[in-house]
Chain A
Amino acid sequence: ETGVTQSPTHLIKTRGQQVTLRCSSQSGHNTVSWYQQALGQGPQFIFQYYREEENGRGNFPPRFSGLQFPNYSSELNVNALELDDSALYLCASSPGSGAFSETQYFGPGTRLLVL
């Protein structure tokens, strides 16, 4: 148990729709990172938030956006869903200021299927 929870566990959407995925970090963890893991592949870094500000982003288009709240929860929003967005979405929290020098604690993920 990492103390990081995600909701929902599974989700089915239609191409073109919008989706919001949620993550609850460990209390006291100021950094949250989001990853996309396509079937049979390693996770890909989407972006990272530190104290409610985005402080790093991978190679994902602007239709992937996020929010982080003072209560250690966060959201990943994806607009205009495409079939290739079907994947497991993981969030991970860490106590410091990010930059990936710390241990990240991963949630179990949300599996998104886009039809």
Chain B
Amino acid sequence: AQSVTQPDIHITVSEGASLELRCNYSYGATPYLFWYVQSPGQGLQLLLKYFSGDTLVQGIKGFEAEFKRSQSSFNLRKPSVHWSDAAEYFCAVGLNNDMRFGAGTRLTVKP
């Protein structure tokens, strides 16, 4: 069955530390891959997306993600986290007329 998994429900990092949020998917073909961020009471904002080509994708706010076909993963990274990065992060996959989101990872940033 098609699915998107974000194994970490909640992650806490110190400001200035590096961050990696994990995402794994299970699809018959390589879908389109996205990372979104949602701040409290807000809609979703696209951080980055992967359709094809270079497997390392650069996004907004200093985020990047790497697509690894062999691992069916699309992990999100940031080298130095800022307090304003505290939010909920969603990995999403799209293929044909189906769009699925993971359950999300809540990021807390310690001062």
Q: Interface size of B by Cβ–Cβ distance < 8 Å?
A: 24
A42 near B102 with CB under 8 A, answer: yes
A44-B43 contact in complex given A100-B95, A101-B94, C-beta closer than 8 Å: no
- Chain B 92-111 residues near chain A, CB threshold 8 A: 92, 94-104
A90-B43 contact in complex given A42-B104, A43-B90, A103-B49, C-beta closer than 8 Å: yes
Chain A binding site: helix, strand, loop or mixed by DSSP?
loop
Answer whether residue A108 sits at the interface, using C-beta atoms and an 8 A cutoff: yes
Answer whether residue A14 sits at the interface, using C-beta atoms and an 8 A cutoff: no
- Interface readout for A1-42 with B: 1 if CB under 8 Å, 0 if not? 010100000000000000000000000000001010000111
A43 near B44 with CB under 8 A, answer: yes
B43 near A107 with CB under 8 A, answer: yes
A41-B103 contact in complex given A101-B51, A109-B43, C-beta closer than 8 Å: yes
A45-B100 contact in complex given A100-B95, A103-B49, C-beta closer than 8 Å: yes
Answer whether residue B32 sits at the interface, using C-beta atoms and an 8 A cutoff: yes
Question: Closest CB-CB distance, A43 to chain B, in whole Å?
Answer: 5
A58 near B98 with CB under 8 A, answer: yes
Q: Which B residues touch A73, using CB under 8 A? A: none
- Chain B 70-101 residues near chain A, CB threshold 8 A: 90, 92, 94-101
Question: Closest CB-CB distance, B10 to chain A, in whole Å?
Answer: 11
Q: Give the A-binding residues of B (Cβ under 8 A).
A: 4, 32, 36, 41-46, 49, 51, 90, 92, 94-104
Q: Which 7 A-B pairs have the closest CB atoms?
A: A100-B94, A56-B97, A42-B101, A106-B43, A106-B44, A45-B99, A108-B43
